[in-house]
A and B are shown apart, each in its own frame.
Chain A
C-alpha cells in the first residue's frame, strides 16, 4: 500500500465534499453567505460576473450541433464557483474561492468529458463582467467584442477539442419569477437567468479530425447560497429548443420524503418568460438505461398543460455520463411528439445500484 499516493488522492478529493455539497447538501448554515431574496433586481453586465458573497455559482453552456455530414452532437462547457467560507476577503492563495470546470462532447456513439480544478485569487480561473470573460486554465468563454455577444467558447480534453462562436441579439431571459427561482416549498431558491437564443458556428475536433459545425446553444447562469432543501436528493433538468422557436426550461427536484418539486419557464420566441405552475408540468420517465452502475431514465414524456406540449425527449447517447469527482448525467436530447426540437438533459443523484 503506497500511502503517499493515498495522501495525494486525499488532497485532490479534499475540496470535493465542499463542492459536491454545493449541489447536494446546502440545506444549512447559509446564513453567513449572501442571501437570495425575491424582488432583487438583476442587472447586466454586472451580473454576468461572479458573486463571491454567494456560496455557489455557475456559468453553464450547452450546445446542440450538427456537422457538415448532418450528424448530431452536443457540447457542454461549465464553470462552477464555490466559496469555502462566507465573507471571503482572502487574496492570492488565501482566497477561499474554488473553481471547477467541466466540459463534454457527445455524439450518438461516444461521450468525452474533462475536468479542471483551480483556486481563486491568483488568476488561474475567474470571471469578469465587462468585458465578459470566464476561464479556467485555457478553457474560456469570453466576449469577442465590447458587448456581451458574440462570444468565443473553447475547451479541450484528452481526445477532443472545440472552438465555437456564439451569437445572439436577444437579451438575457429571467427564469423563475424575475430571476428568483424557487427550489422547494420551504424557501430554498437561487438567482437564475438564461440566454437560450444563441446560434453557434465553429469547429470541433474529435479523434484528431476537425469538423465544421453549426447549431444552437443555451447558457444558464445561476447563483445561490442555499439552493436545495435537506431532503432533496437530486434533480432532472431540461432545456429545450422547440421547432416553434419557443424555449422551455423544466426541472424537478426529487425528495426522499416528499413528491418531487416541479418548476419551469416557458420562453416565447420573443424572449418573454413565464413561470409555469407546478401542476401544469408533467415529467415522466419512460425508459431507463444502465449507466455507470446506476439506472438512469434516458427517455421521458414531457408535457405542459395549456401550452399544447406533449413530447418524448430521448437521449442522443444514453451513456452521456460525466465521470467527474461529482458524477452526473449530462447530454443532448432530441424531442418528438406534438412538437419537434432538441435540447439538453442533466440528471443528478441517482444512486449506484451495483
Chain B
C-alpha cells in the first residue's frame, strides 16, 4: 500500500540546510497499522506530512498504491488527499464555522462519496449522535477528536495518517478515542500510520518503527 524509498528532506536554517530525513525506506502493507516513534526532531512528523502530500520531498519516492506522490504537483497531491488520504491531527482538525454534522460530512462530500447511512453509523459508533448540531467550540477536546476521526473515516480513505491524535487529551479519553479509531481501522480495512510519543499507544498497533536521525532504527 505504502512504499517509501530513499526519502530525503532538508529544511533551510540560518546555519545551513538541516537534513531531517536521510534516505528513509519503509513499506506498509494494505490494512496494516503502524506506529512511528522517535525523539523530537527525528523526522517523524515530516515523514507524515510528506506522505500526506502537505509538503514536497527533496529526493526518493513515496508510492501510495501505484501513485508516486513525489511526482505530483500541488493540485495532484491535493486531489490525492481529497480521494484517498485521511488526516487526523493533534489540534485544529475541525472547521470552526461548520456544525459537527457538516464537519463529519465535509471531506466525504468533497471526495464525492458522501454516504449518510455510513455517517450515521460512524456518529453512532463515536457517540456523536446528540452533538450533530453543535459547533466545534462547544465540544470538549475528546469530542472534537472523535469528530475528526469520524470525518476521516466518513470518506472511506485508503490511508489514514494521524499525528499525535490523542496528544491533547487526558489518558482516559485518549484511550477511548484510540480504541474507537482502531476498531474502525479494523472494520474498514484501511492502512493506518500514526506518529506518537507513547509506547503504550504504539503497542496497540500492528507494527512499531522508531526513527533515529532521519532513518529507521
Direct contact of A and B (CB under 8 A): no
